[in-house]
Amino acid sequence: MTEPYADLDAYREATADERLADYLDFLRIPSISALSEHAPDVRRAAEFVAQRLRTIGVENVDVSETGGHPVVYGDWLHAEGAPTVIVYGHYDVQPVDPLDLWVKPPFDPRVEDGRVYARGAADDKGQVHLHLAAAEAWLKKRGALPINLRFCFEGEEESGSVHLDRWLEANRARLQADVAVVSDSGFFEGNLPAITIGLRGLMYAQIDVTGPHLDLHSGGFGGAVRNPATTLAEILASLHRPDGAVAVPGFYDDVRPLTDRERDQIARLPFDEQAYKQMIGVDALYGESGYSTLERRGARPTLDVNGLWGGFQGEGAKTIIPAHAHAKISCRLVVDQDPARVFELVRDHVLAVAPTGVRVQVTLHSSGPPSLTPIDHPATQAAARCLELIFGQPALYIREGGSVPVTASFERILGLPVVLLGFTPPDDQAHAPNESMRLDNYENGIRTVVRYWGELASLPR
């Protein structure tokens, strides 16, 4: 299987330097979709991707409006009789705080010890870029792709893919395909290749507790009024049971129980709990009782406080009763939980425990359904063969704890099977300071994708 692609590998090797320079330029754009002051940067990143698509010979390139940040679309449809594949990635990135923990500024990429360090290096600009490189090799070296490709690069994945579904619905006509390849996932452990078959859904909300119309002197008013910060803490504490399970009534009602076979598959994955704890920096793991760590983080729903704030947070002391306090919370959901229903359950629970003397509001921020994709689809099997060839190990089939809402959207709106093909080991620190991408995985990712498209040319239709 190697020989047929020797010319493409040679092209890849010959263009490594300019490709790296282009990748770093891409990383320099602070395309943080969640922060409105970065909207022009997000737009700039979209234009960057569009320009790159045009340069390598992709056609019908379009920075397509969504009502939010644009989707960059482009296609190449001249492989008559061959299947059509949608390639999805996202060019937006997570916020960067806490900024002081970055060794170098997050948008000033550096190459060190075989890694590229920058926000978005792995999630997801690196994976977008390696797909562009695979297309470039085919088009520049052979003047054609072995399959028909439609590229869809999103700009709102890190802020909830708020406008994507509507865009997919509106663009059904130009999104006809046989399979969607989503490249926004990673490896399981170390450098073991993996294909993700399960993704958790997401429900992200904010809780606002408002009390007095001003911060009050905690001496003069302490004992007279309900403290919004204390109340927020009590509300948040009410969300879990002492055994680690989510305490929101009805939360588990729609959860599809794990079968014995599924539990057995998960139990056989290589997992070194000691090394995992050390990587994270904790002395004990924790979660819903009755489930293993791998089950809890991949196949069971969770509720986490993502942030909380209120009152005085500076140096020293300020003796106030805060006028208000806030928390961001989110649930990771599994099949068959419905994010909208889970939001209602959480909201109803919070409002039910909210006491008098404060006003409590719960607002849905974003959501995405969970998904579970088929292992036995020929496109999944082809991906597994290519991964094994390039990375020298059989690919694992895993359930990822994260959410890629688009996966469920491709399934539901476009009726497509989805293959989740990503190339980043779990120590990439996506969403955290000092995010990085291994350069060998980036290059091997290109080799894998080059071959994958060749393999898909013979996909039964």
Please list the active-site residues: 92, 157
- Smallest distance from the beta carbon of 88 to its own copies, in angstroms? 17
Residue 362 bridge partners (DSSP)? 207
Residues 179 and 417: their CA atoms lie apart, in Å, by 5
Give the nearer residue to its own copies in terms of CB position, either 94 or 337. Answer: 94
- Smallest distance from the beta carbon of 424 to its own copies, in angstroms? 11
Give the nearer residue to its own copies in terms of CB position, either 140 or 328. Answer: 328
Give the nearer residue to its own copies in terms of CB position, either 178 or 295. Answer: 295
Give the nearer residue to its own copies in terms of CB position, either 150 or 365. Answer: 365
268 contacts 300 by C-beta, under 8 angstroms? no
Q: What count of residues does the chain have?
A: 461
Give the nearer residue to its own copies in terms of CB position, either 171 or 337. Answer: 337
- Smallest distance from the beta carbon of 97 to its own copies, in angstroms? 7
Residues 357 and 238: their CA atoms lie apart, in Å, by 18
- Smallest distance from the beta carbon of 327 to its own copies, in angstroms? 8
Check residue 99 and report its DSSP letter: G
Residue for token digits 């793991």?
Answer: 285
Phi-psi region of 369 (alpha: psi -120 to 50; beta: other; left: phi over 0): beta
Which residue type is seen at 54? R
- Smallest distance from the beta carbon of 414 to its own copies, in angstroms? 23
- Smallest distance from the beta carbon of 181 to its own copies, in angstroms? 20
State the maximum Cα–Cα separation within the chain, in Å, rounded to a whole number: 81
31 contacts 9 by C-beta, under 8 angstroms? no
Residues 89 and 154: their CA atoms lie apart, in Å, by 6
419 contacts 180 by C-beta, under 8 angstroms? yes
Please state whether beta strands 418-421 and 179-182 pair in parallel, antiparallel, or not at all (unpaired): parallel
62 contacts 133 by C-beta, under 8 angstroms? no
Give the nearer residue to its own copies in terms of CB position, either 170 or 214. Answer: 214
- Smallest distance from the beta carbon of 298 to its own copies, in angstroms? 8
Residue 90: phi and psi, rounded to 5, are -135, 145
Which candidate, 35, 363, 340, places its Cα nearest to that of 203? 340
Give the nearer residue to its own copies in terms of CB position, either 62 or 262. Answer: 262
Q: Which long-range contacts (CB under 8 A, 24 or more apart) does 340-344 make?
A: 340/367, 341/254, 342/203, 342/251, 342/301, 343/203, 343/205, 343/367
